[in-house]
Amino acid sequence: MSRGSLRWRLLLAGAVSSLVAVLVAAALLTLLFQRHVARSADNELTVHLDQLIAGLGRGADGGIAVIAPPGDSRFSEPLSGLYWEVKVAPDGPVYRSRSLWDFTLALPVSDNDGSVHQVSLEGPGDTDLHGLQRSVVLPQRLGGGTVEAVVALDATELQSATRRFATILVPSLMLIGLLLGAAAFAQVTIGLRPLKTMRKRLAAIRDGRAERLGETYPDEVQPLATEIDSLLAARADQVETARRRAADLAHGLKTSLQVLSGEARSLREKGESEAADNIELLTGAMQRHVERQLARARLAPQSAAARADLMKVVHTVRSVVERTPRGAELQWSVDIPEGLTARIDEQDLAEALGNLLENAARHARKEVRIAAHPEGGAVQLNVADDGPGIPEAQFDAVLRRGGRSTDRARGQGWASPSSPISQKPGAERCAWPTNARAWPSALSCPWRSETSLCANRPAAGGSSGATPSDPCSRWSRRRPPAARSPVRW
């Protein structure tokens, strides 16, 4: 998961917010518990202080004394952590619990308002004490005067209670944090699921298995899907317009090109070969321009319903080429299983295959072979001839659009046959055979998705392949796949 991932960002934001929430909750809960413990301690000390004041009376000598001390047994245990002390003001005797032993508390100066005050005192052994102090004015029956009464306990007990609570709280909060993290992950996964669905549908549109995204998305995502569908519709309209214009252009130039070709033949028959060559060169350039325009018009995504029966298309195109003078001299062999189809428009397949077969017929010696077979959810189509081939060093020059080898006899215009194929959705990489002089060998441009078309060229001849200017442009050399049924070389 990259740092630019939306999922990563949402999970990171969820983790940070959960961590902050857990830390804030821990601090608040600890503070609340600390205050609760302090209030409970104050309530307990208040009860002891009231008992201490209620137990004041006259002693045997007639002075003030603690007749009935608080009944908690900790007051009788030395250094138990719970203490009381009574001091008769201003310089009277001091009475204290047995738990203080011989230690006297240093009471702060009281304001004599009769209210209870929280005080912090130093206890035995330099311990910190938390106490309640009250100044009491004695009635006349007790001789009058003022006494200071204080009840205190060891503050470390309060701190220990808080630490014990934190010890229990931390694992609980960690568990809550893990649950929050899992909830955040589930929330992000569910929240991003529509985008994943959209990506899959876009891939289906790219591969020709669908035409639009549809309207089954949440309200937050549906506007995006609607805009994409609108863009696809506009693009389809533009491509359809381009296809119509390209067809009009092709029909408009057809007659002129035929006339020029006829003039070239007439000149060649009269012995004016140089003029005929020039005219043929110009008509060839015009033909390439027409094919380029047709290829641009075919950049639209394939319709999900587009299917081509390979045997039917190959038979039709081969029949046309066989009727040419050069095609009639060759032996043609076809090895294609019945019912084998590819997701491509039949006209596109016929145009690409026609260019391949014409080029193969032009440079073959005696034989042209055509085969197709399914391969890993794709369809591979091979065209091979036994022509002279081209040197490996001239591959790049020949395969450039409009390129040719240094020898005119070896063929030209190899870029055009692959254009209707390589510009279709899902076109992948092409591959040359390792042995450029072996026969047969293949150049293939497969589709992704459930069907493929592979235009194959033998090194020995001139059958066309894809070009470096289209998606089939990165060439890697390999031997042709081993023969297997139904393909037999």
Indicate the pLDDT class of residue 432, thresholds 50, 70 and 90: very low
* Residues 270-321 pLDDT 10s: 888 888 888 888 887 777 666 666 555 554 445 555 678 889 888 888 888 8
How far CA 321 is from CA of 95, 351, 358, in Å, comes to 127, 12, 7
* Residues 394-414 pLDDT 10s: 666 655 545 555 554 343 334
User: Which pLDDT value is given to residue 293?
Assistant: 60
H/E stretch holding 96 reads: strand 94-96
* Residues 356-368 pLDDT 10s: 888 888 888 889 8
pLDDT mean across residues, the chain? 75
255: which 2 tokens?
């007659």
* Residues 55-68 pLDDT 10s: 888 877 777 888 88
> Do 129 and 152 contact (CB within 8 A), yes or no?
yes
